[in-house]
Structure 1
Amino acid sequence: MRLPSSYSTSTSDVSSSMTPMIDVVFQLLIYFLCTASFAMTEQILPTTLPPTGATTTTASLPPEVQELELIRIALSQRGQQLQIELNGSPCPDVANLRDRLRQLLALANLPAVLDVSLEVEIGHMINVYDTCRVVGVRDIHFAAPER
């Protein structure tokens, strides 16, 4: 003889007991949507504006830096010798490149573009890339090869 189970397996009982729970969830959803205020925080932040008619002063950069929009570093290799050009002027080695990059970045924070020719060894390219990062160049991009 089989004992009656205390658990009912009827699906109608489960669906009928879920209906009030679904109703409560929808009521809570509607409540929170109606009471929420979607204020933009930018409109709340305090700012102080200069009075009208006040003149503003801007720091002027040297003319050679004002013309620059980015730092262009070209790498090529002849034999075992790495050729480095910074904005069109040759650099004898990576140490000189590091010093000149520091001077440029002291005047303006500019992005850098590495134009690496195909014959350059990957180690030289990584060395120049690391030099840019150490000096403080934040945006370093690679130039696309010419077609």
Structure 2
Amino acid sequence: MRIPTSRQRASQVDMQTAMTPLIDVVFQLLIFFICASTGHMKELLLTTDFTAGAISATEKEPAEKPLGEVSIRLTRVETETVTFLEGQEFREMDGLDAKLKDLARASTEIPVNLDVAAEVPLGDVIHVYDMCRAVRFQSINFVVSKSQL
């Protein structure tokens, strides 16, 4: 006697209907993650290397700066930002720009360190950073003290 095939087909149909919601959920998750991962803005505006990590208490900071390093300090005096480049004070950004161009003519491989006080507006920091990038300095870094860590 032959076994009726209607039961086998019914089990196959049940298996297909059970898989349909699972496949739908997988596709919806796939679409969600694709859409969620493509809308982020890349952080390329202020590129700097943060790979140094934390400084341990036993390490000593070098007392002497290496040759060819440029240090720019930004502070706030009353309502204006004052910039110090190797001890020379600049209250106007034009004078700083001319000095940076002179340094860049010597070599653009000189590392530039920006030491920014907490009260300096971000717009002034970005302006000085952009001036350094405009004269093609290759390494522009931000100075962080141990108290800020």
Residue deviations 1:23-70 (CA, integer Å, cap 9, x gap): xxxxxxxxxxxxxxxxxxxxxxxxxxxxxxxxxxxxxxxxxxxx8421
Alignment coverage as a number of residue pairs:
85
1:118 paired residue number: 118
1:132 paired residue number: 132
Task: Give the CA RMSD over aligned residues.
Answer: 1.9
Q: Higher relative CO (CA 8 A, sep ≥ 6), structure 1 or 2? A: 2
TM superposition score normalised by structure 2? 0.52
Q: Tell me the CA shift for residue 124 of structure 1.
A: 0.9
Q: Tell me the CA shift for residue 2 of structure 1.
A: 3.2
5+ residue gaps, structure 1, are 4-66
Distance in structure 2 (CA, Å) of the matches to 1:145 and 1:70: 18
TM superposition score normalised by structure 1? 0.52
CA gap 1:120/1:97 in 2 versus in 1, 3 angstroms: same
SS at match of 1:102: helix
Query: Does residue 144 of structure 1 match 2:123?
Result: no
| Structure with the greater alpha carbon radius of gyration | 1
Distance in structure 2 (CA, Å) of the matches to 1:106 and 1:113: 18
2:26 paired residue number: none
5+ residue gaps, structure 2, are 7-65
1:86 paired residue number: 85
Give me the identity figure in percent. Answer: 29
